[in-house]
Structure 1
Amino acid sequence: MSPTSHHNPVLAKVLGGFATLTAGLDYAARGVTGFNFYSSRGQLEHVLPYRELRLKALATARKLLSTGLKRGERVAVVAETSPDFMAVFFGCQYAGLVPCPMPYSMYIGGKNAYVSRIAGMLKTARASAVILPNDLISHITEAARLADTAIVKTFEELAAMPESIEKLKPFDVDDVAYIQYSSGSTSSPKGVLITQKAIVANTRGILRDGLKITNEDRAFSWLPLYHDMGLVGFCLSPMMGQVTVDYLSTTSFARRPALWLKLMSENRSTIAYSPSFGFDLAARRINGEAVTLDLTSWRVAGIGGDMVRADILNDFAEKLSVAGFDAKAFTPSYGMAESTLAITFADLSKPVKIDTVDRLHYKLAQRAVPASEQLKQSPERVRSFVVCGKPITGHEVIIRDDRGADLGEREIGRILFKGPSLMDGYFENAEATQAIMTADGYMDTGDMGYWLDGEIVITGRAKDLILHNGRNIWPQDIEWAAEQIEPLRNGDAAAFAVEGEDGEDDVVVLVHCRIADAAEMENLRRKVAAVVHQTAGVECAVILVAPKSLPFTSSGKLSRAGAKDGYLTGDIAEISPLARLPRSLDETRLAAAQ
């Protein structure tokens, strides 16, 4: 068994521009490139050329229709890194069914949290069917029962189904493509509805503007296919550009991060992406193996999914320089599921650009004032940001203040976006959709940033939303989890993020405490920390505060901004010593990103 080729010797390279995903696969199937799947030991397990994927997808489409599913119905599919997931996802495209990728990982919170998470997604998608691997049958069956999802089949059971004789009617240019669940809210998940036009526009921008794909490119990914960066960046986009992709499961990467680099070395991979923490993990685990690697082919080392950390990139480049890794390959970018995936890319021909600003002006005046050389000698007085490039062709990004006025160079404000890659809204959730859309058609991304010479710089999340290890976490989820613990009740918890010494978000939870016994107070603190970790997948500092000390708005809503300000100024004081914030385990951080 040999992996698929780097390139097609005869088939002309076409970088997107197809009307639909099926049109893209029909074309890619005429060549010899495709997907390759590696085991946790680095062995090639499955080879799936695009021509074989197309045949499997067509057969799977007919099998799905034989279950009685009707055009436009939603089919949830557990996104394990396997040919089975690919066959079902693309089978849905040919059958006119809407695939909804679901997470495979159960690491965070165990069975109960996983079942609850999947049930919420199935319910909000109104999924008619869910397709899954054998090892999750009991969990998914329970989730399907809670969500009233009628059809539950393993990949093997679906493969054994007869093929319907009904004529296939693939999705057309004006149809939907899939529903993507973002890494945000878990208590009330929102499905991002992506159309064929949106995925076509975004993959074209990724292939042509962002990555500037060539005939010699070969991609590598350990990113979960449930996430937009894994699905769009390293499944749909490569297919639309006839690019070969080598896969390692996310779990295998977590256990052996150096295997990522070893396989890239062996396969002469040219493109791979990771959140900053993935580069950090790989650099810390590589040890002496770096000298045995050859990473000279790696031309695009993309960073996305979380705040780009310059110190992590520098450390990775330094440790992997002996393997021929060139730091110029680092490609910061910016995007989100609501924009299908990509919004901006840094220039591939230039090294990473870092803007170091005066921390005082940044925090008080909301301006990114360049730090003087003298000021840079005092690290605590400056803040460095990585520049994330320009918008892809046909897309617009603007920065506005809270009053809706457009801002200029180095003025920090809210980042808004519009263009053909924009989602069609949150599935059957008009209220949530309207909440982030402006009257002139822009989407409020929830991020803050500023312009620097025509390029975007991301400074953090706007207001309440927490960015942690590449995930968007709604504070409501954390508060809801904490308030399930006796004797807490609704309105007794406030969650927010504060900037830690390393520039990352540390999660803080303020909790009303009505008990006086020291042992009981410490027990409450531990219970809250445990349930937050189980539910939201984050470690947090739990601060016990006096009853009625959390601020509320005039309409009776919790003011998280007020709670954060009170905590930072000391106006809201802890009534017991602050528990030390636990250090995240590498595996916990990685699982949290899923």
Structure 2
Amino acid sequence: MSSPTGRSLWDGLLTAAASHRTSLHCWDGDGFTAFPWSEVVRDAERMTLGLRRAGVRPGTTVATVLTNGVSPVRGLLASWMAGAAVASLPVPARGMNVQEYAAQLGKICAQLGAAAFIVEERMIGLIPEEITAVTPALSWESFEGSGRVDPSPPDEDALAFVQYSSGSTSTPKGCMLSPRAIAAQLDMITTMLELTPRADVSVSWLPLSHDMGLFGCLLTCLWADIDDYLSTPERFMVAPGTWFSDMAKVGATVTAGSNTGLHLAARSASRVRQWPNTGLSQVRACIIGAERVEAHTLLTATTSLAPAGLRPEAFMPAYGLAEATLAVTATPLAERPTTLAFDAGALADGELREVDADAPSATVIVGAGVPCAGVDLSALAALPGDRLGEISVVSPSLAMGYLDDRERTAARFVDGGVLTGDLGFVRDGVLYPVGRVDDVISIAGRKVYSREIENAVDALDGVRRGSSTLVAGNDRGAIRLTLLVELGKSTTNYRELADQAATVAMAKAAIALDECVFLPRNSLPKTPSGKTQRHRCQHMLNTGRFTPLATVALAGV
């Protein structure tokens, strides 16, 4: 009934907090305001009577969009104390309009049968009718100070949390997590990072609606009794450099972010120096995950942040997924990330053919480290050493399945593990994730790995990093390859850039693009962690939802 260290989730998050001497520090627009963890938990307990009067009790579910602030954190803990499960709904993907997002949330709330939909007070006026028609809409602040009831959190193997995916490859799925699974995950992260109570300090801008922000940062800090400086994704997007400047100012030792976020922050840091030369020398761990980590991102970050004292071995590429609560593998502390180079065309066919990293057909894969404590990747490791395979994960922090989706649960949760839908391989004990099974496009009798072409196009001058997407449509029975490209700077020479992209596609995968569609910045739909939603890109292209700057016809047209 407990984690490998002997603590239940509720002992680790609620009971132990009474003796904590560390704090949650929330960004308030001007600076960080400190809320001692012990007071956060006490304040949460004083919300439980109001929640109970609102119908929140054991066996019910509270739906919410977890925004970055102290009220949602109190509310999450209070809901658990009141006995309810909490369903964390996705924030809108970039490119999703208000009507689409409202319909998505309304559908999820109807499926949940939630006792209430509860958010920060500032969001109440934004709640659409699609939600209020099926679920009472309330604010966390309205319950503060209402009184307490005796805590009755969910049993260790009951439903405690529903983590909805961002929908980067499909309709959002609700991963059902038990207290036992969450506790095991928090233990994994604490052990992996060798966190020291009251000594380590964390900084994060990641949204709490994302598993990396919630489990990887916030709850790990409460579990491990360390200070957590919680910024906001909105502040990060306006000023990416604040991620590392915050770390320098508060003496952070650990942090986490996405590949896209690291690229933006490193690029910003290379232009502006706001911290002393040794400001980042105390950083032990900078976990990078949420999407495939790219070698050029690590190189950019290492070059940009080295003058501030950040060591290359501080970067810890990792792999995880919501179905495993979060972390599956991570680069060991104080070890530099590993890379291997393969022929991109062979890789698309599932063959691992090593080449020099500077070969025209090369694609460089970054290792995501070794399995976390208790994680088993033996099914993938047992495959022939020269072949890709689907990553299968056995872990003590696995989800119980997908909410109200027995068919998908039966297909993905197999033999005590989960089939991830990601391709990869294990070499010398290190996992190398390559990409989604869905990223492989079959054309003219051969397979193409779309991500390898996109990575190469991203490196072209004028293309916005991380903002090119290859989609395969059907044109009277034939596959039509369209490259969607956001521009990083103004240009009118679309033909030259399209020809360069076509040359890259031919060199990397021996395929001919049919057209390049150039788009303004922020046109491509993306998840909060920065992953492009390929299926929505295809839908938006098919339905004329994009407003192109230019469309350049290429081969076969």
TM over 0.5: yes
CA distance in 2, matches of 1:241, 1:285: 31
CA distance in 2, matches of 1:445, 1:91: 32
Are the counterparts in 1 of residues 258 and 289 from structure 2 also a CA contact under 8 Å? yes
CA distance in 1, matches of 2:332, 2:93: 37
| Letter paired with 2:212 | M
User: Structure 1 residues 33 and 108 mapped into 2: Cα distance closer, same or farther (>3 Å)?
Assistant: farther
2:324 maps to 339
Q: 1:69 aligns with which of 45, 56, 68?
A: 56
1:545 maps to none
Are the counterparts in 2 of residues 426 and 433 from structure 1 also a CA contact under 8 Å? yes
Are the counterparts in 1 of residues 401 and 413 from structure 2 also a CA contact under 8 Å? no
1:367 maps to 351
Are the counterparts in 2 of residues 357 and 382 from structure 1 also a CA contact under 8 Å? yes
1:269 maps to 252
CA distance in 2, matches of 1:218, 1:100: 28
2:314 maps to 329
Q: 1:434 aligns with which of 410, 415, 424?
A: 410
Q: Kindly report which structure 2 residues correspond to 1:212-361, keeping only aligned pairs within 5 A, or say none.
A: 212-215=194-197, 216-286=199-269, 287-289=271-273, 292=276, 294-361=279-346
Are the counterparts in 2 of residues 19 and 196 from structure 1 also a CA contact under 8 Å? yes
- Greater mean alpha carbon deviation, residues 410-419 or residues 81-90: 410-419
1:447 and 2:422 aligned:
yes
| Letter paired with 2:209 | Y
1:20 and 2:5 aligned:
no
CA distance in 2, matches of 1:207, 1:409: 32
Question: What RMSD, in angstroms, separates the aligned Cα atoms of the two structures?
Answer: 3.2
- Equivalent position SS for 1:233: helix
2:437 maps to 462
Could you tell me the TM-score, scaled by structure 2's length? 0.79
Measure how far apart 1:69 and its partner are.
Answer: 2.7
1:39 maps to 28
Measure how far apart 1:83 and its partner are.
Answer: 0.7
CA distance in 1, matches of 2:306, 2:260: 19
CA distance in 1, matches of 2:321, 2:163: 11
Measure how far apart 1:31 and its partner are.
Answer: 1.8
CA distance in 1, matches of 2:300, 2:46: 48
- Equivalent position SS for 2:155: coil
User: Structure 1 residues 243 and 15 mapped into 2: Cα distance closer, same or farther (>3 Å)?
Assistant: farther
CA distance in 2, matches of 1:257, 1:188: 29
User: Structure 1 residues 178 and 90 mapped into 2: Cα distance closer, same or farther (>3 Å)?
Assistant: same
Q: 1:189 aligns with which of 168, 172, 178?
A: 172
User: Structure 1 residues 39 and 587 mapped into 2: Cα distance closer, same or farther (>3 Å)?
Assistant: farther
- Equivalent position SS for 1:349: coil
Q: 1:29 aligns with which of 7, 14, 18?
A: 18
Measure how far apart 1:290 and its partner are.
Answer: 5.2
CA distance in 2, matches of 1:189, 1:459: 22
CA distances 1:496-531 after superposition (whole Å, capped 9, x unpaired): 9553352568434455679xxxxxxxxxx9xxx99x
CA distance in 1, matches of 2:451, 2:244: 33
1:500 maps to 453
Are the counterparts in 2 of residues 499 and 506 from structure 1 also a CA contact under 8 Å? no
Are the counterparts in 1 of residues 341 and 363 from structure 2 also a CA contact under 8 Å? yes
Are the counterparts in 1 of residues 58 and 154 from structure 2 also a CA contact under 8 Å? no
User: Structure 1 residues 377 and 101 mapped into 2: Cα distance closer, same or farther (>3 Å)?
Assistant: closer
- Greater mean alpha carbon deviation, residues 351-360 or residues 98-107: 98-107
CA distances 1:207-264 after superposition (whole Å, capped 9, x unpaired): 11x2111242111100010011011001111211112110110001100111121111
| Letter paired with 2:352 | A
CA distance in 2, matches of 1:19, 1:34: 21
Q: 2:78 aligns with which of 91, 99, 108?
A: 91
CA distances 1:28-47 after superposition (whole Å, capped 9, x unpaired): 33121121012344x12x32
Are the counterparts in 2 of residues 399 and 450 from structure 1 also a CA contact under 8 Å? no
User: Structure 1 residues 315 and 86 mapped into 2: Cα distance closer, same or farther (>3 Å)?
Assistant: same
CA distance in 2, matches of 1:444, 1:361: 23
Q: 1:384 aligns with which of 341, 364, 369?
A: 364
Q: Kindly report which structure 2 residues correspond to 1:98-113, keeping only aligned pairs within 5 A, or say none.
A: 98-104=85-91, 108-113=95-100
Unaligned runs of 5+ in 2: 442-448, 457-465, 477-481, 486-508, 532-557
| Letter paired with 2:329 | T
Measure how far apart 1:455 and its partner are.
Answer: 1.3
User: Structure 1 residues 446 and 300 mapped into 2: Cα distance closer, same or farther (>3 Å)?
Assistant: same
1:393 and 2:373 aligned:
yes
2:109 maps to 122
Measure how far apart 1:427 and its partner are.
Answer: 1.3
CA distance in 1, matches of 2:353, 2:94: 42
Are the counterparts in 2 of residues 346 and 388 from structure 1 also a CA contact under 8 Å? yes
User: Structure 1 residues 377 and 145 mapped into 2: Cα distance closer, same or farther (>3 Å)?
Assistant: closer
2:537 maps to none
- Equivalent position SS for 1:124: helix
Structure 1 stretches of 4+ moved >6 Å: none
Q: 1:211 aligns with which of 193, 197, 200?
A: 193
User: Structure 1 residues 263 and 505 mapped into 2: Cα distance closer, same or farther (>3 Å)?
Assistant: closer
Identity fraction in percent? 26
Unaligned runs of 5+ in 1: 1-13, 467-495, 515-524, 531-566
- Equivalent position SS for 1:289: coil
CA distance in 1, matches of 2:420, 2:402: 14
1:51 maps to 38
CA distance in 2, matches of 1:510, 1:48: 50
Are the counterparts in 2 of residues 15 and 213 from structure 1 also a CA contact under 8 Å? no
Measure how far apart 1:368 and its partner are.
Answer: 2.2
User: Structure 1 residues 319 and 186 mapped into 2: Cα distance closer, same or farther (>3 Å)?
Assistant: closer
- Equivalent position SS for 1:420: coil
Are the counterparts in 1 of residues 260 and 529 from structure 2 also a CA contact under 8 Å? no
User: Structure 1 residues 167 and 291 mapped into 2: Cα distance closer, same or farther (>3 Å)?
Assistant: closer
CA distance in 1, matches of 2:248, 2:68: 21
Are the counterparts in 1 of residues 24 and 34 from structure 2 also a CA contact under 8 Å? yes
1:60 maps to 47
| Letter paired with 1:31 | H
CA distance in 2, matches of 1:167, 1:29: 16
- Equivalent position SS for 1:419: coil
- Equivalent position SS for 1:257: coil
Are the counterparts in 2 of residues 217 and 269 from structure 1 also a CA contact under 8 Å? yes
1:482 maps to none
Are the counterparts in 1 of residues 185 and 327 from structure 2 also a CA contact under 8 Å? yes
Measure how far apart 1:396 and its partner are.
Answer: 0.9
CA distance in 2, matches of 1:218, 1:129: 34
